[in-house]
Chain A
Amino acid sequence: GIQVEQSPPDLILQEGANSTLRCNFSDSVNNLQWFHQNPWGQLINLFYIPSGTKQNGRLSATTVATERYSLLYISSSQTTDSGVYFCAVVVSSNTGKLIFGQGTTLQVKP
């Protein structure tokens, strides 16, 4: 089956710093989403981005489907950005099920 690999696994930043999280996938995908799981366990939708570039405030994402990777950019990080960031892909249009990566754990220090 498809492999979804995220890097780095852990990241510690000082407040105000920028960062880039990467998601590599081993096969063609129909859909790609980025999520933020906050310290209370809630999964928050960040981007639905099967291809191209999107921006939402301090966050932006780029997916290059032909090269099988996606990047999540966080600029001017804040302590509220702490948590786990997941990339998830859909391979089969029959099921629509999401295949999740292992996540990147981000800690932003004040």
Chain B
Amino acid sequence: NAGVTQTPKFQVLKTGQSMTLQCAQDMNHNSMYWYRQDPGMGLRLIYYSASEGTTDKGEVPNGYNVSRLNKREFSLRLESAAPSQTSVYFCASNPRRSYNEQFFGPGTRLTVL
């Protein structure tokens, strides 16, 4: 039981390049989330998926798109990376939207030059 996994662990992009961050969970959870963490700050929600087939914007969605590929996988795409998107990205899941503990992946450290 791996929990929540993320790939890649590290990535360096040039401004304007695109990439997709992958997230998968093997806990049969319904809800999945993407957060970003900037230096000295707590995490902020980018997008979330309450259940398979649905996605919604969080606090800081601009510049990102998501896909809930199936129940296990939730990907985050940067279409045209900007230096302001340099951050650590965390994926999380929980059994359902509320009243349950949220579990986090190990994070992806992204630098945009």
Contacts and interface: CB of A to CB of B under 8 A. Distances in A.
B25 interface: no
B106 A98 contact: no
Given A93-B97, A95-B50, A97-B33, A41 B109 contact: yes
A16 interface: no
A26 B35 CA distance: 22
A41 B103 CA distance: 14
Chain B: interface size category:
20 to 34
Interface in B23-76: 31, 33, 35, 40-45, 48, 50, 56, 58-59
Contacts of B56: 95
B102 interface: yes
A43 interface: yes
Contacts of B35: 98
B48 A96 contact: yes
B109 A97 contact: no
A87 to B, nearest CB: 9
Q: How large is the interface on A (under 10, 10 to 19, 20 to 34, 35 or more residues)?
A: 20 to 34
A30 interface: yes
B99 A30 contact: yes
Contacts of A73: none
B103 A45 contact: yes
B97 A86 contact: no
A90 B98 contact: yes
Nearest to A87: B42
Nearest 4 pairs between A and B by C-beta? A100-B42, A96-B97, A93-B98, A48-B101
Interface of A: 4, 30-31, 33, 35, 41-43, 45, 48, 50, 86, 88, 90, 92-98, 100-103
25 contacts: A4-B42, A30-B99, A41-B88, A41-B106, A42-B106, A42-B107, A43-B104, A43-B107, A48-B101, A88-B102, A92-B98, A93-B99, A94-B50, A94-B98, A95-B56, A96-B100, A97-B33, A97-B48, A97-B59, A98-B33, A98-B35, A98-B43, A98-B102, A100-B42, A103-B42
